[in-house]
Chain A
């Protein structure tokens, strides 16, 4: 009996020591998150209830910042709509582009690793450099894209598209440009594709299934975990869209690419209205949180290999 107790005590000590060691190892991260994330977040929540111009002391104004945003700020709603439009189109389009790329790059062709590298490369290019490059490609009067499309414009007797310089096409132009980085999600899809057991394809071959059937009945269903992951991450990232518009269009023309984060940035940096900027940040957090929770409900349609039913 005594021996058993001792053993238990010894085990308990080890567990305790392990816990201490674990916390010690994690402590830099815990301290980091408390100091650099939790504190600023709490501070920003407090600032949402104040008038704060980044110089003078914050003055309590209650819910006035939120009231201004929701009931008296037309640009707030415009920027929110611009962002929702961006998310609604760019997220599904990004998934489709990523999956198609992965399917293409999952074939056995010579020099495949080179192709994979080439398609992934845009993800390591600075977004500023990339934006400037696209700026010239899509340049309405002198850009190469309109030069290539010139015969089509002539054929259909239409005016050349002004891409980012026209409020009607600017959002779509930025979305199309965003597809340039589809190689990032492609890598995840490709990794999952290569995890699909070959035996499933062999059985399908025996049953006489073609490429299309195998793609839609085996590959895509078994890729749903990574599609779901990219969908959720795309939603979260999509609501924070900022850089492309900041560099390429300055939010124009006619505020058509003035996204939520851009407006938040301007509230803070140009209007020096930290109260409303912080309120916008918290509203964005809530929007993203609600949409992510709703998106997570789609998890029931995700098929995890090896899971029962």
Chain B
């Protein structure tokens, strides 16, 4: 009798577990979704509400959302992708969708959109072509643009007023930027107290300035360039911008900004800075006591290209190779919900992020002049190109060369020649094992 009871209990447990795994407690297919707002963060409850609204709107699927801290998120999702233990939906960087699509870990969203005959299908005309292009691999969509990051020039209107300038004087070109920036510089006892602008501060990058000249690190065949006069001129311009100060003076000023913990713009130690749209949220949250505005990043005086580095997120449906059509259908249904006009607005309100849905964002920010300008700049944002032999070409690969140049240890010619040789070596090594 005991044996029979034990067997029955084990069977019941197995059935229960299987049922839980497949359908959740209420018989609905469970869809997992990972995002970047952990329990305890301000947006968590609002994002949860967005998910709850979906769960309450239908009875077929139940989304289980999990939020991780921003930096933890990348380790988690990377390892999950490698071990095929990903959630059904998750966020990722849009500039390397091709890597994951090529690795066959993403569902083809173009196919899903095409096969879907419902009224609430994803309307691709509501998303920018440039963003969609980043989410494509071999002409097919393997992700959807989720958020839309942009970089702009923030300027402090109180400081502008202090030096007799108005909003009409916000610089539009590099030479204007330098002339105006110098009006704010303050030095006391050999120590910098305030700078007008520094082209290496905040989210300003060498590749960002380079793009404004129409150049890049690589040509269309991903051969490393970095060898034209423009490459040298742009880097030299960055270094020379504050050349009246020594490296020690500049580094002391930069380090004391770090010490303040608020950033140089928030502490009014720089009058202008290049930053992402997030700075607006941070300034508002911190209750900034000064007036400020945003504008397009100034461009080179001649043939300047209005462009800024985006670095937005994609949302992806992960294929773990389990061939679970129910989950796939559920994940797509939830993706459609997330990409809809209303949800994109709700997500933007919850997170403060600019989302990728064009009309949803236009309508949402129409009464907020700063967000309106930020959104306008999204239209000029460009993503880094995916370079398989140097996926982090703007980060760790470039940083040692950049530091050498900005700390004036070597000439720009030497730095760029060394950087070029470095990328070339990476390319050659990559090609040797990827014939």
Q: Which of A73, A141, A251, A273 contacts B425 (CB 8 A)?
A: A73
- Chain A residue nearest in CB terms to B84: A55
Report how far A75 CA is from B390 CA in the complex, Å: 14
A142-B255, A270-B391 in contact; A54/B425 too (CB < 8 A)? no
A72-B425, A252-B399, A252-B403 in contact; A269/B78 too (CB < 8 A)? yes
Provide the residues of chain B in CB contact with A68, threshold 8 Å. 429, 432-433
Looking at the complex, which of B100-108, B142-150, B164-172 is the stretch in contact with chain A? B100-108
Q: A184 at the A/B interface (Cβ < 8 Å)?
A: no
Q: A272 at the A/B interface (Cβ < 8 Å)?
A: yes
Most buried by A among B103, B428, B429, B434: B429
Q: List residues 246-261 of chain B with CB under 8 A from any CB of chain A.
A: 248, 251-252, 255-256, 259
Q: Which of B252, B391, B428 contacts A272 (CB 8 A)?
A: B391
A55-B103, A251-B396, A270-B391 in contact; A141/B252 too (CB < 8 A)? yes
- Chain B residue nearest in CB terms to A274: B82
Q: Which of A72, A141, A159, A270 contacts B429 (CB 8 A)?
A: A72
A251-B396, A252-B399 in contact; A140/B102 too (CB < 8 A)? no
Q: List residues 237-279 of chain B with CB under 8 A from any CB of chain A.
A: 248, 251-252, 255-256, 259
Interface size class of B (residues with CB under 8 A): 35 or more
Provide the residues of chain B in CB contact with A159, threshold 8 Å. 248
- Chain B residue nearest in CB terms to A262: B396
A53-B99, A140-B251, A275-B433 in contact; A254/B400 too (CB < 8 A)? yes
- Give B25 Cβ to nearest chain A Cβ, in Å: 33
Provide the residues of chain A in CB contact with B99, threshold 8 Å. 53, 55, 272
Report how far A254 CA is from B422 CA in the complex, Å: 13
Provide the residues of chain A in CB contact with B430, threshold 8 Å. 273
Report how far A271 CA is from B429 CA in the complex, Å: 12
Q: B186 at the A/B interface (Cβ < 8 Å)?
A: no
Q: A253 at the A/B interface (Cβ < 8 Å)?
A: yes
Provide the residues of chain B in CB contact with A275, threshold 8 Å. 433
Q: List residues 205-264 of chain B with CB under 8 A from any CB of chain A.
A: 248, 251-252, 255-256, 259
Q: Is the CB of A141 within 8 A of B256?
A: yes
- Give B78 Cβ to nearest chain A Cβ, in Å: 7
Interface SS majority for chain B: helix
Report how far A72 CA is from B428 CA in the complex, Å: 8
Q: A203 at the A/B interface (Cβ < 8 Å)?
A: no
- Give A279 Cβ to nearest chain B Cβ, in Å: 11
Provide the residues of chain A in CB contact with B426, threshold 8 Å. 271
Report how far A53 CA is from B433 CA in the complex, Å: 11
Q: A261 at the A/B interface (Cβ < 8 Å)?
A: no
Q: A116 at the A/B interface (Cβ < 8 Å)?
A: no
Q: B392 at the A/B interface (Cβ < 8 Å)?
A: yes
Q: A51 at the A/B interface (Cβ < 8 Å)?
A: yes
Q: Is the CB of A252 within 8 A of B433?
A: no
Q: A65 at the A/B interface (Cβ < 8 Å)?
A: yes
Q: A74 at the A/B interface (Cβ < 8 Å)?
A: yes
Q: Is the CB of B400 within 8 A of A252?
A: yes
Q: Is the CB of A141 within 8 A of B255?
A: yes
- Chain A residue nearest in CB terms to B104: A56
